[in-house]
Structure 1
């Protein structure tokens, strides 16, 4: 029998009626002859409620107990789904992270999966179990304490199980019916993509597309796990959703597959920095120590031994970055005349594996933006993406202009 992993997010299991609908979907796959591993999230809103309760206990708390509380939402969902499946005549049982076990690092709140032994579940499947309902987002540390995997942890759990058990596919059920060429709320012309390469999906996820969590796509690419993104609120169809797969499994790729954007960006510039070897390390080392995630970096051509250094960062990390830069200036490691911050910028990107073999993508992108009066502040490129930093007020206009320029509405 082939194995299939199905993952259901918080909105898909938001109440008992939706859990019953999920059970019917699982039942269809069981009837097709699959041994099914279902990974579930907490009901929508429950994790935030649990986090709030922890916060009310006091400003400081034990991270180990935080994980013990916050992970309980998934346990409730797993137990309820197992009960409904049993009521439907399907041999199912729930599994918490420590029972599998999902072995993780000790970083509470942001643990990483290190190993998923298959013996316990394989034994139960051999004894007749048809469905294993696994609580996502959680595992167990080497010290024997419950851990949680951080944002999007249930997606990562699902992909990890698919890799460990050699699953035929990992289906990620959400409240959208697949991956789109851009956010449909921004462009009415956005089109669902039938197939997309791992590399493209990874870029889109890291650049602002919120359909899949970046870590889960990284894991799927590393272990060649075929992912399918589809809606839990639409009728089941073999051709539904978007398949995330190897580039070789796509017959012909468009030059650009999608337009991604992130509004929560800021731009920071160190004015008149000494242009000397080691200056970049002196700047970005302290930023890393403060946990500041830096993305786009531009250094101007030096003049009279001085230069300007510009970089982008998440807007909520600006205070940390200021603290780091004030520290290096006070300590004498980096001497700059001024620190300029623009917190009203956005990052817009075009992504496509077809860029590897097509010239003129950047020219078309810049021309499309210029025709609508959108000024570009910073540009970065890679083999399959081009990103620009622009004024945030032009975000939707830029996305729509690029979507039209590359004709992404066409199949």
Structure 2
């Protein structure tokens, strides 16, 4: 593996914008990127990678890493996404491929101290256009987003139906979601770069291809696999950023919501874990995220290195925090309560490296772009017996605000036009 120190090239969103613009000028495939907290680094970027549709069992099919990579090097690997598998009540099909991915032999990695590195699994030297572009980071180009408000009445009915199911004993909790739809005039990469710069989410990811793009501003870790250890950090419990975060630990509803999902994650990991190795090293930690405060817990387990990643995903996907308990019944009911397919929202985006392992986010705060510029943003929250439908709607708005309220919102009837004047 080749590793070269590049030094301080600036912030990750600006470097991503630079390689994206340079690659587009050469007619190359767009970049893929992980920004925030990935593999002990603050950014992992493939300057150009073809992201094409693949089977759901293939998307992260990389042999488990031994954990012997130098430092936090990742070298290269498989960038991809996996959509939430269930349809909505309207029965319509996927808007973009259900799973897509692509292999990149090399990456640009920004370590936790801000130093950039070029890494290649095969030992290839960096392309001249990449070296030239990263020496001159750029700002995103101008774009416009036109968002249409989500349907409050439909979400209200979904929440009340969920509360009735909880009362009847069918489920203990379920994550009921809604959608904002929009139209982008400009490039999805510029939207992602701008929004990532403003919100600095912990698990942001970007992928694009002829089919469209995925711009994930997620704060949540779905799975980390390195060596024999698998880790999941589910998020449940939310307050707006202006509220006192200590209220999360004293909220019966939020604490119950989190603990029920922790138990579900323990159950999911227990299906593949070595006996007696499932533990909860962190419970009910209060963490900031764009626009909100969250309760976050962490569950770990030990698994065999020979276990295929497809088996890990078969036991754990879709993520526990976006389904409900019991998981199978919650998913069945959600298909009737939510009118539209979630798509990439509540699925997962991430990266699998033969030297560094696999890390996947929960694709919340995630915008799905069609090739025609159409955009879908899903938001939702966990419903328990103590939930109030109006407060659940407010929670959806708090989660969406950093994305749909970007830059200069101009109300126009039931729409919000968001203009980036860069």
Which interval holds the TM-score relative to the shorter structure?
Answer: under 0.3
The TM-score with structure 1 as length reference comes to 0.25
Greater share of helix: 1
The TM-score with structure 2 as length reference comes to 0.25
Question: Which structure is larger by alpha-carbon Rg, 1 or 2?
Answer: 1
